[in-house]
Amino acid sequence: MDKADRLNEFIKNPQKALITLSLPMMVGMSVQAIYMLIDTAFIGHWVGGSALAGLGIVFPPMFIIMGITFGLGSGATTVIAQSIGEKNKSKADNTAEHIIVLGIFLSLLFITIGLLFGDDILRYQGSNQEVISNASVYFYTMLYGTPFMILSIFFRSILSGEGDNMMPMKVLGLGTIINLILDPVLIYYFAIKGAALATVISQIVVFIIFIYLMIYKKHTYISLDLNNFKFSSNILTQILKIGVPASLSMLIMSLGIFFYNTILNQTEYPVSAIAAYSTAHRIEHLFFIPIISIATSMITLIGMFFGAKEYNLIDKVIYFAIRTSIIISIIYSIIFYSCSEFLLNLFTNETEIINIGVGYFQIFAFAVPFISIAMNCSRAMQGLGKAYPMFIITCLRVIIISCFLAHYFINYLNKPIEFAWIAVLISCVLSAFISFIWMVKVKNNLRIIS
């Protein structure tokens, strides 16, 4: 299929288009997630529980960098998709060039901030010196690889905007294979630092491949010509208008994990609690990939249909995505509830960490369908150019409800750690109802209900 005709193909069968876009992204993200899990298993069994806890402490600052990048990238995806829907290729090209230039600026900014404040960020979350030492080694090694990670994410966002998720899947899949090959060797010789080195090396390879295919080989519909880049405040404003609220949503999630680590540090078993929470996050990410892929692909389709004024197709895509995600999430809920001990045993043999992790999953399992609803509704509004609802809903779920309740249960009522997981469940249920009602209201205001 000619890339310029992709919009017409999507219009003919929007539900098939959603699956077509989602599957390559799903496969690519799954390969990355499997790497993260194998990485965690090597660290958990070869280095120990303190290293797992160290990963948990590193996760918030690294997720802030990734979150801001993914958020701004989704802003570029939306603007590119809408531009293609409007048949304005020059605007789509210029939008892609803006996000790459922005990526270079962000890389320098994040490295500077990390070097200045990294130690303080890590120490605030935990007091165990061995955990902090592991976290510091991993964090600073990863920090120098952030330019390659950020620009690779932006390259993938550009391709998603034009409706091509196949090429990113292949490139990222290759990077993950390289990571997997390097991981056991480097971890064996350099412990937790080896895991970070393997990741950085694979990110460099992925970055080089994207540069070669997109700039030198011109293998994409979008054309990148940074030598003739022309700054447009209007395009940058459009990217930021959608991308900043999405980035702030990711930032809020990172802060939520940061605060949860500080709360768990006050429990009876702080190192094991943080290690269990971190490991559980990595496990659940693998299962959430189909839902994330569907919701992310929906942004591209809604953006294109909105730009092409095909409003009648938007409802079909939204409710098909929600129905499919709920079915998938129910299956995952059953797996989390019944198989959590088996899953955790793959990553550590420390009984205390496993027991805490099982307790988390047996409560979190009931939250999964509600997370799916909130995720799809928030992304649907983003595709319509309304990104701030996602930020507000995320802030409400993660900080105002979840962290506040967990802090209240653990530090004021002296409840056991299970009440921290109950706080997560309550926040997910409430955010699902709020996001669905808000999405319906946004669609009503735009007069696009079928």
Q: How far apart are CA 450 and CA 242, in angstroms?
A: 25
At residue 1, the pLDDT reads: 43
CA distance 106 to 24: 28
pLDDT band at 449; cut points 50, 70, 90: very low
Distance CA 444, CA 442 (A): 5
Helix/strand/coil percent split, the chain, to 5? 85, 0, 15
- pLDDT: is 424 or 51 the higher one? 424
Q: How far apart are CA 200 and CA 393, in angstroms?
A: 33
Q: Is residue 180 classed exposed, middle or buried when 0-12, 13-18 and 19+ CB atoms within 10 A define those classes?
A: middle
- Cα separation, 439 vs 443, in Å, equals 6
Question: Could you give the CA distance from residue 226 to residue 214 in angstroms, rounded to a whole number?
Answer: 12
Question: In the structure, what pLDDT confidence band is assigned to residue 6 with cuts at 50, 70 and 90?
Answer: low
Read off the amino acid at residue 20. T
Q: Could you tell me which of 42, 49, 52, 54 has the C-alpha nearest to residue 185?
A: 42
- What is the mean predicted confidence (pLDDT) over 158-164? 83
> Tokens 């950020």 map to which residue?
150
**Contacts with 85 (C-beta within 8 Å, 6 or more apart), sequence order:** 7, 303, 304, 305, 306, 307, 308
CB under 8 Å, gap of 24 or more: what pairs does 107-114 form? Answer: 107/146, 107/147, 107/150, 107/151, 108/147, 110/65, 110/143, 110/146, 110/150, 111/143, 111/144, 111/146, 111/147, 114/61, 114/139, 114/140, 114/143, 114/146
pLDDT tens by residue, 210-262: 999 888 887 788 888 888 888 889 999 988 987 887 777 777 887 888 888 88
Q: Could you give the C-alpha distances from 311 to 188, 307, 318, 322, in angstroms and in order?
A: 55, 9, 12, 18
Cβ-contact 49, 65 below 8 angstroms: no
DSSP string of 217-242?
S--SSS---GGG----HHHHHHHHHH
- For residue 275, CA distances in Å to 34, 54, 272, 285, 381 come to 18, 8, 5, 16, 35
CA-wise closest residue to 260 among 414, 409, 389, 138: 409
* Average per-residue pLDDT for the chain: 86
Residue 51 to residue 43: CA distance in whole angstroms = 7
Whole-angstrom Cα distance, residue 119 to residue 395?
26
Rounded distance between C-alpha atoms, residue 250 and residue 64, angstroms: 7
- Of the candidates 246, 242, 295, 385, the residue with the CA atom closest to the CA atom of residue 18: 295
CA atoms of 157 and 164, how far apart (whole Å): 10
N-to-C CA span, the chain:
29
pLDDT in tens, 294-325: 988 888 788 888 877 787 888 889 999 999 99
Q: Flag whether pLDDT at 450 surpasses 50.
A: no
For residue 137, pLDDT over 60 is answered with yes
Counting Cβ atoms within 10 Å, is residue 256 exposed (0-12), middle (13-18) or buried (19+)?
buried
For residues 6-17, one letter each, b for 16 or more C-beta atoms within 10 angstroms of the residue's C-beta and e for the rest, the string is: bbeebbeebeeb
Count, residues in the chain: 450
Using DSSP, state whether 350 is helix, strand or coil: coil
CA count, 13 A, side-chain hemisphere, 76: 28
Identify the top-confidence range among 191-205, 252-266, 273-287: 191-205
| DSSP tag of 367 | G
Answer yes or no: are the C-beta atoms of 344 and 353 closer than 8 Å.
yes
Question: How does pLDDT run across 79-135, given as a tens digit for each residue?
Answer: 898 888 888 888 999 999 999 999 999 999 999 999 999 888 888 876 678 888 988
